[in-house]
Amino acid sequence: MLSRDKKAMNDTLITLDNLGIGYEAHAVFAGISLAISRGSFTAILGANGSGKSTLLKTVLGLIPPVAGRIHVGPANAAAPTFGYVPQSTRFDPIYLLSGFDVALMGVYGRVRPWRMVPHSERAYTTECLRAAGAEPFAHKRFAELSGGQKQRVLIARALATRPDVLVLDEPTAGVDRETTRAVLEFISQIHQERKITVLLVTHDFASVRQHAEQVIWLYEGTVFHGETHELLSAERMAKIFEMGIG
């Protein structure tokens, strides 16, 4: 039987080692060292401008780290697949893309260039749209969908990549409270059913308490990382705010 420390090491999917994040060699946050477990649901919290989205984009490899390093996956294993849901995606209305067309983009990484998308991949995209509750409006123009409908299509697109890690950058920004609740409940359901690792950027403490297992909190220059029920307890938060530091 594995010891607890060795088991935890084997379960680690993403390791941030003294990571500095920012743009053009200018760090907006530095000294981030933590581990994210495989199959966990981790929320990234912080005020606007605190570096939440920058951290997420650095983990995804969309921007390079300013300092330190990121290690993804166990040694000698295939790199995990990331499914990314951005804050918003806009397509020029002159492009007559349907919700299905947008979701189908998630399978393109498995289709050889200049080849037609196989029927099996189109069928799988339909399954993802159904899972995201987006099938009823999948053949409407994406540009004409409501904010909540667009987010469901974008989640379906991310699921179509067959991800090991589902990464969501404020997926409910700009949508109403009821839609926010429905989208987050769906993400939580997908996490539980498919054992996908979830990284969710948000500023909604209430939703995090309800759905997330772990929290990364960027607060006034300091990083807090821990279990949700401990880090976001009334007593712990009161101490953090009273200290006047992260």
Q: How confident is the model at residue 190 (pLDDT cuts 50, 70, 90)?
A: confident
Q: How confident is the model at residue 140 (pLDDT cuts 50, 70, 90)?
A: very high
The long-range contacts involving 186-190, CB below 8 angstroms and separated by at least 24 positions, are 186/132, 186/133, 186/152, 186/155, 187/155, 187/211, 188/41, 190/131, 190/159, 190/166
Lowest mean per-residue pLDDT among 3-17, 120-134, 159-173, 211-225: 3-17
Measured between alpha carbons, how far is 145 from 142 in angstroms, rounded to an integer?
Answer: 5
Q: How confident is the model at residue 5 (pLDDT cuts 50, 70, 90)?
A: very low
Residue 65: pLDDT over 60: yes
Measured between alpha carbons, how far is 211 from 103 in angstroms, rounded to an integer?
Answer: 25
Measured between alpha carbons, how far is 76 from 78 in angstroms, rounded to an integer?
Answer: 7
Residue 2: pLDDT over 60: no
pTM of the model: 0.83
Dump pLDDT digits (tens) for 80-128: 899 998 876 666 666 689 999 999 999 998 888 888 999 999 999 999 9
Q: What pLDDT is stored for residue 28 in this prediction? A: 85
Q: What pLDDT is stored for residue 59 in this prediction? A: 92
- List, edge to edge, every strand of the sheet that includes 41-46: 82-85, 165-169, 197-201, 41-46, 214-219, 222-227
Provide the residue ranges of all domains of the chain, joining segments of one domain with +.
89-163
Question: What is the percentage of the chain residues whose pLDDT exceeds 70?
Answer: 89
- Residues 164-175 have a mean pLDDT of 85
- Residues 61-81 have a mean pLDDT of 85
